[in-house]
């Protein structure tokens, strides 16, 4: 086992240890009527077992991305395609057998809009399943190129045709992958805006982002713009920058120049202490394949792999384990030991008549709490309905005014490198048109990032407004329920443990955009206000019309593109406003729904618990005595588990 694999294997052991603790806790509280807590523990256990390290590799086409991934994995998993690929993410995962699964977008594009190289079996598969919710199809690993590579000579028109695929899952029997590492290969950044957008949308799911640059042409303008606007501009600060082909620099002076340039341009773009590396992916791969340790050591990959492993295992890994571990500790201590067990013991030890009398006395108060839960739920929905039209107007104004105005200014101010004249051939016009379009698309990407940040603030403000309007009701509910539980149990041992539930509402406006990085991002971030920017390339007949317009050819090209792009943006943008608004409404509701559901569930659990105990007590003392003994056994087991969880947190996560 390599040092790299060993680090991940140790993390996997910790993950399994935590999953075992979660599983034991789920079983231990089985005798208590705590279905919500048991469900939460099962969810946390599944999360602990399924969490992997997702490492996304990003870079422009022809910077050696595929060779780098292969050198990192130590095997030629990915073919190094000589031509650009469509907008498809590739996820490389562990599998006992080599295979590839193609996943389809939903809904899939129309059959007549598919790229020319779409295999017949794929079209048949899509027909069979009606174009929506198409299941994945297994394909030969050796034939991936037939599905994702744009056919030779088909740029740029074929470039714009819609791939039906969402992603490829590539399974490979490698030790590193078996330890829980997944490699994400992204479409090249410099080929087309649609493919760049696919790469950008996936970044929220990554645990580490590796940006591949070429040492022989470092820090190109489009790379630096992507790093500034798409990465740093969207909050990604823990970045690894790798300069590939470092071995191809002629002398030490050139290599030193690149080191200094990298430090100057990128050191402030990452918060990692050691985030910049200089490697030869080719030498690393050959060194591994041939067992040439000297060649591998000189490639620079060893230092990078060590730095990446340390970051993932020590920093990211602790964060991944921290949330389920501390949630387990809270459930065991606060919900089980401090509340559920004393409550159950108090009722079991009470006189039956006294217990029934107390229960009847609190029922009106319980009905009041149900009304609080229902009115709070209704109030949250009403405020969301009031906020969404305002947010939709902000989005509509962005498409109709700001973006449209900016597109015209961007195009008119831009001076393309392609020189066009009245005697230019159609090929030159197409080249100039493509250059302007790519520039405009990069500016739209930049604008989208800024607008998304502003929109997120508006959403955060809406969340804060909902929180402020309902916080007191939620606190009153949980305090009221705690008081009722004490009365029915006939003991003061039942603690008020629900502070964390309503305190969550205190700060939800500030915390909603700081969700657990291991979770999926909020839906609005996933949508990312994707601009569906794919207007048709100028057709051949436009060339002749442009020459007769009585103005410069470049001006005519710009006018044509402005018309096409603004019409496309407005038409497609406006068609998305309702969809984006609905997604934001869902995000707002999902923010508060867990707390509201907890309110309802706690009442239901409490009612079921009291009624069950009353039924058992009516059967006589011979039934109650074993239940009390069983409760004591449960309590001891939970206390033991708490001690083990404490040791796990101390040994692996530290205190917080």
Q: Which residues contact 141 (CB under 8 A, 6 or more apart)?
A: 98, 99, 100, 170
Which tokens belong to 366?
A: 């319980």
Q: Which residues contact 254 (CB under 8 A, 6 or more apart)?
A: none
User: Residue 290, Cβ neighbours under 10 Å: how many?
Assistant: 10
Say how far apart CA 181 and CA 312 lie, in whole Å: 10
pLDDT at 540 exceeding the cut of 60: no
Task: Output the pLDDT for position 529.
Answer: 37
Say how far apart CA 331 and CA 148 lie, in whole Å: 47
More confident residue, 62 or 267: 267
pLDDT at 639 exceeding the cut of 90: yes
Radius of gyration of the chain (CA): 30
User: Which of 140-149, 235-244, 346-355, 598-607 bottoms out in mean pLDDT, i.e. has the lowest?
Assistant: 140-149
Which of 554, 560, 559 shows the shortest CA–CA distance to 537?
560
Say how far apart CA 302 and CA 300 lie, in whole Å: 6
User: Which of 78-82, 175-179, 439-443, 564-568 bottoms out in mean pLDDT, i.e. has the lowest?
Assistant: 78-82
pLDDT at 252 exceeding the cut of 50: yes
Question: In the structure, what pLDDT confidence band is assigned to residue 197 with cuts at 50, 70 and 90?
Answer: low
Say if CB 530 and CB 201 are below 8 A apart.
Answer: yes
Say if CB 368 and CB 480 are below 8 A apart.
Answer: yes
Instruction: From residue 59, give the alpha-carbon distance in Å to each of 200, 225, 437, 457, 608.
Output: 11, 12, 21, 30, 57
Task: Output the pLDDT for position 522.
Answer: 36
Task: Output the pLDDT for position 87.
Answer: 57
Cis peptide before 156 (omega within 30 of 0): yes
Q: Which residues contact 131 (CB under 8 A, 6 or more apart)?
A: 107, 108, 110
Helix (H) or strand (E) holding 126: helix 120-128
Which of 153, 262, 233 shows the shortest CA–CA distance to 442?
233
The residue behind tokens 């915390």 is: 511
pLDDT tens per residue across span 421-441: 655 567 777 788 878 877 887
Task: Output the pLDDT for position 561.
Answer: 82
155 — phi, psi (to 5°)?
A: -75, 150
Cis peptide before 577 (omega within 30 of 0): no
Say if CB 241 and CB 211 are below 8 A apart.
Answer: yes
Task: Output the pLDDT for position 554.
Answer: 81
Task: Output the pLDDT for position 635.
Answer: 96
Q: Which residues contact 251 (CB under 8 A, 6 or more apart)?
A: none
User: Which of 406-410, 540-544, 589-593 bottoms out in mean pLDDT, i.e. has the lowest?
Assistant: 540-544
Task: Output the pLDDT for position 191.
Answer: 52
3-state secondary structure of 183: strand
More confident residue, 228 or 535: 228
Mean per-residue pLDDT for 47-73?
85
163 — phi, psi (to 5°)?
A: -70, 140
Task: Output the pLDDT for position 269.
Answer: 92
Question: In the structure, what pLDDT confidence band is assigned to residue 347 with cuts at 50, 70 and 90?
Answer: very high
Say how far apart CA 196 and CA 203 lie, in whole Å: 11
Listed as own residue / partner, the contacts of 195-200 with beta carbons closer than 8 Å and 24 or more positions apart are: 195/84, 195/85, 195/86, 195/87, 196/226, 196/230, 196/441, 196/445, 197/87, 197/445, 197/528, 197/530, 197/531, 198/87, 198/88, 198/89, 199/58, 199/89, 200/230, 200/234, 200/445, 200/528
Mean per-residue pLDDT for 407-418?
87
Percentage of the chain lying above the pLDDT 70 cut: 82
pTM of the entire predicted model? 0.71
Say how far apart CA 182 and CA 234 lie, in whole Å: 23
Which tokens belong to 256?
A: 């030193």
Question: In the structure, what pLDDT confidence band is assigned to residue 559 with cuts at 50, 70 and 90?
Answer: confident
Which tokens belong to 332?
A: 């065991």
pLDDT tens per residue across span 621-632: 899 999 999 999
More confident residue, 117 or 352: 352
3-state secondary structure of 96: coil
Q: Which residues contact 406 (CB under 8 A, 6 or more apart)?
A: 443, 447
Say if CB 420 and CB 410 are below 8 A apart.
Answer: no
In sequence order, what are the beta bridge partners of 210? 57, 240
Task: Output the pLDDT for position 81.
Answer: 54
pLDDT tens per residue across span 74-114: 888 876 554 455 557 889 999 999 898 988 877 777 777 77
Task: Output the pLDDT for position 542.
Answer: 33
pLDDT tens per residue across span 119-135: 888 888 888 887 667 88
Torsion of CA 138, 139, 142, 148, to 10 degrees: -110
pLDDT at 409 exceeding the cut of 70: yes
Mean per-residue pLDDT for 394-417?
86
Say if CB 162 and CB 113 are below 8 A apart.
Answer: yes
DSSP state, residue 149: B
Instruction: Tell me the CA end-to-end span of the chain in Å, nearest whole number.
Output: 33
Task: Output the pLDDT for position 362.
Answer: 94
Mean per-residue pLDDT for 495-512?
39
Instruction: From residue 170, give the alpha-carbon distance in Å to each of 66, 81, 101, 142.
Output: 14, 16, 7, 11
Say if CB 397 and CB 570 are below 8 A apart.
Answer: no
H/E/C letters for each residue in 353-374? Answer: HHHHHHHHHHHHHHHHHHHHHH
pLDDT at 214 exceeding the cut of 60: yes
User: Which of 100-109, 523-532, 615-624, 642-651 bottoms out in mean pLDDT, i.e. has the lowest?
Assistant: 523-532
Task: Output the pLDDT for position 516.
Answer: 37
pLDDT tens per residue across span 354-393: 999 999 999 999 999 999 999 999 999 999 999 999 988 8
Cβ neighbourhood burial of 292 (10 Å; 0-12, 13-18, 19+): middle
Which of 299, 228, 365 shows the shortest CA–CA distance to 71?
299
Tell me the residue length of the chain. Answer: 656
Task: Output the pLDDT for position 523.
Answer: 35
Task: Output the pLDDT for position 528.
Answer: 34
Q: What does the mean pLDDT of the chain come to?
A: 80
Mean per-residue pLDDT for 438-465?
79
Say how far apart CA 526 and CA 530 lie, in whole Å: 9
Mean per-residue pLDDT for 591-600?
88
Task: Output the pLDDT for position 359.
Answer: 95
pLDDT at 636 exceeding the cut of 90: yes
Mean per-residue pLDDT for 503-532?
35
Task: Output the pLDDT for position 374.
Answer: 95
pLDDT at 656 exceeding the cut of 80: no
The residue behind tokens 């029934």 is: 356
More confident residue, 593 or 491: 593
Write down all domains in the chain, each with its CATH number in brackets: 24-36+52-77+180-349 (3.40.50.300), 91-173 (no CATH), 350-637 (no CATH)
Task: Output the pLDDT for position 278.
Answer: 95
Say if CB 179 and CB 84 are below 8 A apart.
Answer: no
In sequence order, what are the beta bridge partners of 197? none
Q: Which residues contact 530 (CB under 8 A, 6 or more apart)?
A: 197, 201, 448, 576
User: Which of 13-27, 200-214, 347-361 bottoms out in mean pLDDT, i.e. has the lowest?
Assistant: 200-214
**Cα torsion angle, 356, 361, 363, 366, sign:** negative
Mean per-residue pLDDT for 10-24?
92
pLDDT at 67 exceeding the cut of 80: yes
Q: DSSP per residue over 593-615, as a string? A: HHHHHHHHHHHHHHHHHHHHHHH
Mean per-residue pLDDT for 284-303?
92
């Amino acid at each position: 086992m390599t040092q790299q694999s060993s680090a991940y294997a140790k993390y996997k052991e910790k993950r399994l240890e935590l999953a075992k603790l979660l599983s034991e806790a789920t079983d231990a509280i089985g005798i208590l009527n705590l279905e919500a807590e048991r469900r939460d523990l099962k969810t946390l256990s599944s999360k602990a077992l399924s969490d992997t390290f997702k490492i996304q590799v990003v870079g422009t086409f022809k910077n050696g991305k595929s060779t780098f991934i292969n050198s990192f994995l130590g095997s030629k998993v990915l073919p190094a395609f000589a031509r650009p690929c469509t907008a498809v993410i590739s996820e490389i995962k562990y599998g006992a057998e080599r295979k590839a699964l193609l996943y389809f977008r939903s809904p899939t594009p129309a059959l007549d809009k598919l790229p020319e190289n779409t295999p017949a079996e794929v079209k048949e598969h899509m027909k069979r399943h009606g174009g929506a919710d198409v299941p994945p199809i297994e394909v030969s690993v050796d034939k991936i190129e037939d599905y994702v590579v744009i056919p030779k000579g088909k740029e740029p028109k074929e470039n714009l045709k819609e791939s039906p695929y969402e992603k490829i899952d590539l399974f490979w029997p490698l030790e590193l992958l078996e330890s829980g590492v997944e490699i994400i290969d992204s479409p090249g950044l410099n080929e087309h805006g649609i493919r760049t957008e696919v790469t950008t949308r996936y970044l929220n799911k990554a645990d580490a982002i590796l940006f591949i640059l070429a040492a022989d042409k470092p820090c190109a303008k489009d790379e630096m713009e992507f790093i500034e606007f798409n990465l740093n501009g969207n909050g990604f600060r823990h970045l690894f920058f790798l300069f590939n082909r470092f071995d191809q620099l002629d002398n030490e002076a050139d290599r030193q120049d690149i080191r200094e340039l990298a430090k100057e341009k990128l050191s402030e773009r990452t918060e990692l202490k050691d985030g910049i590396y200089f490697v030869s992916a080719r030498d690393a791969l050959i060194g591994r394949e041939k067992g040439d340790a000297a060649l591998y050591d000189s490639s620079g990959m060893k230092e990078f792999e060590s730095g990446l492993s340390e970051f993932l295992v020590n920093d990211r890994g602790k964060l991944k384990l921290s949330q389920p571990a501390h949630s387990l500790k809270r459930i065991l201590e606060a919900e089980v030991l401090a509340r559920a067990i004393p409550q159950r013991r108090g009722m079991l030890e009470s006189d039956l008549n006294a217990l029934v009398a107390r229960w009847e006395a609190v029922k009106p108060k319980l009905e009041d709490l149900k009304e609080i839960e229902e009115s709070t739920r209704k109030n949250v929905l009403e405020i969301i309905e009031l906020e969404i039209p305002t947010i939709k107007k902000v989005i509509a104004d962005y498409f109709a005014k700001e973006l449209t105005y900016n597109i015209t200014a961007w195009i008119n101010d831009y001076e393309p490198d392609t020189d066009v004249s009245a005697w230019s051939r159609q090929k030159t016009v197409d080249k100039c048109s493509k250059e302007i379009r790519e520039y405009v698309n990069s500016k739209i990407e930049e604008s989208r990032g800024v607008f998304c940040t502003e929109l997120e603030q508006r959403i955060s403000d809406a969340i804060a407004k909902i929180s402020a309007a309902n916080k007191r009701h939620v606190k009153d509910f949980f305090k009221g329920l705690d008081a009722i539980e004490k009365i029915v149990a006939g003991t003061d041992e039942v603690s008020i443990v629900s502070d964390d539930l309503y305190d969550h509402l205190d700060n939800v406006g500030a915390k909603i955009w700081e969700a657990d990085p291991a979770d999926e991002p909020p839906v609005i971030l996933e949508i990312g206000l994707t601009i569906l920017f794919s207007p048709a390339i100028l057709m051949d007949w436009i060339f002749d019309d442009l020459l007769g317009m009585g103005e410069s050819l470049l001006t005519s090209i710009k006018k044509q593109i402005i018309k096409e792009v603004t019409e496309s943006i407005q038409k497609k943008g406006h068609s998305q406003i309702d969809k984006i608004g609905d997604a934001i409404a869902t995000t707002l509701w999902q923010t508060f729904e867990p707390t509201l559901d907890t309110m309802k569930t706690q009442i239901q659990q409490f009612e079921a618990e009291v009624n069950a105990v009353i039924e058992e007590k009516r059967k006589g003392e011979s039934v109650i005595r074993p239940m009390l003994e069983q409760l004591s056994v449960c309590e001891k087991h939970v206390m033991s588990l708490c001690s083990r969880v404490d040791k796990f947190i101390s040994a692996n996560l530290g205190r917080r």
